[in-house]
Amino acid sequence: MIGTGNAFAKQYYNNNALIQQQSFTLLVDCGITLPHALYEQGFSFNQLDGVLISHIHSDHVGGLESYAFQMMFKYKKKATLYIAESLVEPLWETSLKGGLIQGDLTSIEDYFNVVPLVPNTTYELAPNLHIKLIQTQHIPNKDSYSILFNDIFFYTADMTFNPQLLQQLVKDGVQTIYHDCQLESPGVVHTSLDELLSLPVELQQKIKLMHYGDTIGNYIGKTGLMEIVQQGKPSTM
């Protein structure tokens, strides 16, 4: 995790991740703070093999303009963008178009090798790295997708509480869940810590908390059996 903070955190970077499998490096989301967070981890945009977007809030896509410009003009090539097919047009029209249009560069395809993804379909991005998008609820009437990696690691986008989904995923073989966590209740458009604490202990043992606010230090020892993900520290899937 190169960032574990929510949209308003100041002590933590936006909740963005690097997934590395052998020589393949995938960026998961590209928030406003991503360029600096990536730099602090010793990575350049040119070292990424692609970016996977979960939804189009700024703490998840606000760094894409910088990514696109650097790849196009500094490294002279397009970045690869993995994204749900339903998000391609909204991402361009509502988030990127105003900043990126210039000269002959007038579409999202001019900057990115766009790979549209169909939800609930498994894709192999690299040897031994498979992903599946699962649509989860966040903001009413706005598509948002969480991600299943290799059928064993579930990485939530911002999502409201869905214990049935979590239980089914574990039943199907998921071993680890990185879950966004709003520390104060009610969660409204996120899952709250209180809601996660209501889960059975055998499910809590598989959950690690991310996308939290600056007051996370006040909750150490108060998260049940769920660990708090630390930004900048690598872990295995």
Single-letter residue type at 55:
H
Nearest of 28, 237, 82 to residue 150 by alpha carbon: 237
Cα distances (angstroms) measured from residue 170 to each of 121, 193, 202, 217, 231:
18, 19, 10, 28, 25
Question: What mean pLDDT comes out for the span 34-47?
Answer: 96
Cα–Cα distance measured from residue 138 to residue 42, given in angstroms and rounded to the nearest whole number: 32
Q: 118-165 pLDDT, tens per residue?
A: 999 999 999 999 999 999 999 999 999 999 999 999 999 999 999 999
With cut-offs at 50, 70 and 90, classify the pLDDT of residue 12: very high
What is the secondary structure of 139-194 as a DSSP string? STTS--EEEEETTTEEE--S----HHHHHHHHHTT--EEEEE-BSSSP-TTS-BHH
- Domain boundary assignment for the chain: 17-118+130-228
State the pLDDT at residue 39.
Answer: 96
Share of the chain above pLDDT 70, in %: 100
* Residue owning tokens 């908390």: 209
pLDDT digits (tens, 9 = 90+) for 42-55: 999 999 999 999 99
Q: Give the separation between CA 9 and CA 216, rounded to whole angstroms.
A: 10
The pLDDT score that the predictor gives to residue 236 is 77
Of the pLDDT bands very low, low, confident and very high (cuts 50, 70, 90), residue 190 is very high
Query: Residue 234 has what pLDDT?
Result: 84
Percentage of the chain beyond pLDDT 90 is 97
Mean pLDDT to the nearest integer, 187-198: 96
**CB 197, CB 224: distance < 8 Å:** yes
Q: For residue 137, what pLDDT is reported?
A: 97
**What is the rounded average pLDDT of the residues 99-117?**
98
CA angle 18, 47, 209 (to 5 degrees): 10
Topology of 17-118+130-228 in CATH? Metallo-beta-lactamase; Chain A (3.60.15)
The pTM of this model reads 0.97
- Tell me: the pLDDT tens digits for 200-230? 999 999 999 999 999 999 999 999 999 999 9
How far is CA 203 from each of CA 145, 148, 167, 189, rounded to the nearest angstrom?
21, 17, 7, 22
Contact 156, 212 (CB under 8 A): no
Q: Please state, in angstroms and rounded to a whole number, the distance separating the CA atoms of residues 58 and 188.
A: 19
